[in-house]
């Protein structure tokens, strides 16, 4: 059974990935990482930084998550990410995504073992 930490890695970690010049990055990755089974996950972010650097976000001060819990943490530095957003009119099972590379600070929720379990923003 997949743990929350494993699930975070499956859904959000692509350390060696580089979406530049690949408009199909999200179409391929959302399917490959099993986020287009049963429904099209509407919004998902992939992080292109080493896992140790993403784990280190968990030692930043606690802040409030969008769901009201206080186990979120914001990265000190900007990180390379790719935003995947379902295209308007895209209907399951044909999940078609916009691919948008960006560089910004990210916010994740961490569990009691200080590992990321949810991508908040």
Among 71, 75, 82, 99, binds ligand DGP (CB under 6 A): 71
117 is an interface residue for ligand DGP by CB under 6 A: yes
102 is an interface residue for ligand DGP by CB under 6 A: no
Q: Count CB neighbours of 16 within 10 A.
A: 7
CB of 87 to ligand DGP, least distance (A): 13
Can you tell me the distance from the alpha carbon of 36 to that of 92, in angstroms, rounded to the nearest whole number? 8
CB of 66 to ligand DGP, least distance (A): 6
Applying CB under 6 A, the span of 18-26, 52-60, 65-73, 93-101 interacting with ligand DGP comes to 65-73
Closest to 117 (Cα-Cα) out of 29, 8, 10 = 8
Residue 82: helix, strand or coil by DSSP? strand
Catalytic annotation present for 118: yes
CB of 32 to ligand DGP, least distance (A): 15
Contact indicator for 73, 61 with CB cutoff of 8 Å: yes
**What does R_g of the chain's alpha carbons equal in angstroms?**
14
Q: Which of residues 30-49 bind ligand DGP (CB under 6 A)?
A: 43-45
């Amino acid at each position: 059974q997949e743990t929350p930490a494993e699930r975070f890695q499956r859904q959000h970690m692509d350390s060696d990935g580089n979406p530049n010049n690949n408009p199909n990055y999200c179409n391929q990755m959302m399917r490959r990482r099993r986020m287009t089974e049963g429904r099209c996950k509407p919004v998902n972010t992939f992080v292109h930084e080493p896992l140790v650097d993403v784990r280190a976000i968990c030692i930043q001060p606690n802040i409030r998550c969008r769901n009201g819990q206080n186990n979120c943490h914001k990265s000190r530095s900007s990180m390379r990410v790719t935003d995947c957003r379902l295209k308007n009119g895209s209907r399951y099972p044909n999940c078609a995504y916009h691919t948008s590379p960006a560089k910004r600070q990210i916010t994740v929720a961490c569990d009691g073992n200080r590992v990321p379990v949810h991508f908040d923003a």
